[in-house]
Chain A
């Protein structure tokens, strides 16, 4: 049973909540119903205050820039120019397309990891220490229990790309930062090498998925992997 104080706190935090106890309390309490109406008025004014007009053809300009600077093939460039002209009509077709389409072929695990690192390259320059409590909190969301000290961690965050609670970590390596990606439910049967012009790494099987470690060429990744394995346990 929700009381009036709980109702008003939730009302201010999430006015559009569909919480059943919230809805029931609003139906039964006249004063809180009035409070909710007041907050809804504030919400309408907030929407008005935050309203921003979007520049004409913003989407078309984004596609055009991508076609010019995004390493696109010539066919893509032609499509970008076409899009600039036919933007509005194409919008409808593309939204329908995304709903109906099947997926593109999945890239291999090492390609996915390298693409991931490319997007997350800012992580390589992070310089702060992550405390054990914060590290434990982030790892817990990936189904990993922190039991010891894996060494200095410069960054720890949940992965925005993962449906399964993946985690990004950055460790200090002997040749620079080492990015570690914990990827629950992404199982591999044996280690997979990762290699690019500037980076190299390895994807290792874990009890609940896999773990990628990527650093500079010549980095002692196995040592870091060993420290991590000793400091954590994976939940199934």
Chain B
């Protein structure tokens, strides 16, 4: 039999890194992100009896984290006009080429409706249908948002705009 404590610690060690990376981009502040992850796991501990399928744990934790973020930080708006802020989101020693910096800024400037599905897909490894479940959207809506998010990001790297992406799509 597995005790509650052992179950909890297994979740923490398996999933806290992924949750932290997602949280950093969600609230755009490393200190707030750690506090968010701590609160998420504390709430998860108190409700652990509700989790009956370990395979659903990651989605469950992400849902708690999103709600905790909305509750705690809804009035907090990170500044986006500082390269330093964006630089602090990621490691400062690697991946610091121009494309990476431009992408980092572009991702930070995406509206949440576009950035959230993108973060869940790239950082969380979720498929469109799984993201739809997590965000309570239709799969079609998620695909549209991901499509537009990548279209915007491609435009940043190619120096074009979203319209040029559309032209390319029209062949």
Contacts and interface: CB of A to CB of B under 8 A. Distances in A.
B9 A90 contact: yes
Contacts of A103: 2, 52
A9 B147 contact: yes
Interface in B99-152: 99-100, 103-104, 107, 118-119, 121-123, 127-128, 133-134, 136, 142-144, 146-147, 150-151
Interface string B12-47: 111011001100110000100010011001110111
Given A14-B143, A42-B153, A90-B13, A122 B67 contact: yes
Q: Do most interface residues of chain B lie in helix, strand or loop, or is the interface mixed?
A: helix
A214 B86 CA distance: 44
A106 interface: yes
Interface size band for B: 35 or more
A122 B71 contact: yes
Interface stretch (A46-54, A143-151, A215-223): A46-54
B20 A14 contact: no
Contacts of B49: 107, 111-112, 115
Interface stretch (A60-68, A172-180, A226-234): A60-68
B170 A39 contact: no
Interface in A161-180: 161, 163
A18 to B, nearest CB: 9
B164 interface: no
Nearest to B170: A5
Q: Do most interface residues of chain A lie in helix, strand or loop, or is the interface mixed?
A: helix
Interface residues of A, number: 67
Nearest to B108: A49
A105 B52 CA distance: 10
Interface in A25-71: 31, 35, 39, 42-43, 45-55, 58-59, 61-63, 65-66, 69-71
A133 interface: no
A35 B100 CA distance: 20
Contacts of B17: 54, 58-59
Nearest to A125: B71
A4 interface: yes
Contact of B143 (A8, A13, A69): A13
Contacts of B4: 104
A14 B89 CA distance: 25
A111 B47 CA distance: 10
Interface of A: 4-5, 8-10, 12-14, 17, 31, 35, 39, 42-43, 45-55, 58-59, 61-63, 65-66, 69-72, 75-76, 79, 83, 87, 90-91, 94-95, 97-98, 101-107, 111-112, 115-116, 118-119, 122, 138, 157-158, 160-161, 163
29 contacts: A5-B169, A5-B170, A10-B143, A14-B128, A35-B168, A39-B154, A42-B150, A46-B153, A48-B94, A50-B107, A50-B119, A51-B90, A53-B91, A54-B21, A58-B16, A59-B12, A62-B41, A70-B45, A87-B13, A90-B13, A94-B14, A98-B2, A104-B2, A111-B49, A115-B47, A119-B50, A122-B67, A138-B136, A158-B136
Given A13-B147, A118-B47, 12 more contacts: A12-B147, A17-B127, A46-B153, A48-B103, A50-B21, A52-B30, A54-B20, A116-B50, A118-B46, A158-B133, A160-B63, A161-B56
